[in-house]
Structure 1
């Protein structure tokens, strides 16, 4: 059999796979409808492991890993479809947000960042010692906000700011790029409200990966499957648990898009911990 003949056979197999895939997605649609009615979980890792073990029991050893990866991807695509379908039938997200812009009476900043932040925002700023001090002010007075340097492209991201956001349920509301000593820096405002403004094109998220092999790769693949661009990723050690990390990501996405909501819904259900850290334009 020459290469041309092999390709003809491959085309036949691919067409059969396509037919079976379409049939499987119809079944996934039925599953989504039933689970939306009953409130059953879409992601059941124990059942997926059971299915994989059953299907690979008699597979040839030299292609077992490849077949396992193939089955896992089919399951991932099926779950993605089910999350999106569920959102068309119910509203499981229940994320409270305000529509912006929202003006604040006071803006607080760390003293050492005040000059840089003034390049981005023309507000009167009150100096504080730390981001924790800013968080206390914001939580005690809902009409206040903070300003800080989220990312210095010459050094890296601010772990202090991100840790404060995670620990205090505070959200990034806006972002501006400034140049300081020929270095680009992201300066953001943040408050206790999640604010979604028309024109927002960035989402900041935090998640903790499940403690199993390939979990981070699976999440990054999930984001790519939604055709959403990942513009930033970094991690902060979880001080309360050994060998675990908070992952912070920035997405080129708008919160109001249905595909973005489906991704958020899937991340909420398939990570150990999840938080939406802000919506903004940048």
Structure 2
């Protein structure tokens, strides 16, 4: 067999032998390409996740800063309202002492209106804090607004009482010049107030005198109703001097103590609210919700 015949026989055999090697080489190439693609895909996912996480962190930080700014503004609004309210209450409480001498700058109705307006401002500011939270700050704010409400009602009631007493004393003075010593509505009312006050302290120690106490109260209310110019709110405020605790010499001294205590309680609650607000802003607290009213 010549060389051409041998070559014709060997060539197909060599080709057949080369096929598996080619297949193996192709498989390795495909595998390498798949592994490269998988690595590229994983790297892409990791990069995408890192980018998403960074964007999410930035959004959260921006949202937290926005929330913190809202809370700071809400806290500042309430503090401003509380400052104005305290200033109003101090002015009105100082004015209460001038009612008997006709030196008051405001009427009792004007006092009540001013105190109600101040209390309304604090409640409006409180509503925003209850919405924004956190719970600890909202609770402290609510306590502070409640303390001012107690102070507000006490100042307004004291003003109404003092104005009522001034009206009674003015009426008694005008009656005395024309009564020729005869009993008058004002003198009867003032005497009934003093009598009921003394009887109330006795009644607390001896409840068997309930009927006597009830009768004295009815007589006093009838006497007050006979006094011209004395409104229902004056008469109700005047009842305050009847219910004096034992050992208290006068209603005026009692009221001064109550006003001082109310102001101190308000000041303490304001400091507690301020401390809670500072803590929330310093720590970035976002958990919790507002407490129920």
TM-score of the alignment, normalized to the shorter chain, above 0.5? no
Q: Name the one with the larger helix percent.
A: 2
The higher-RCO structure (CA 8 Å, 6+ apart) is: 2
Q: Name the one with the larger strand percent.
A: 1
- What TM-score comes out, normalization by structure 1 length? 0.27
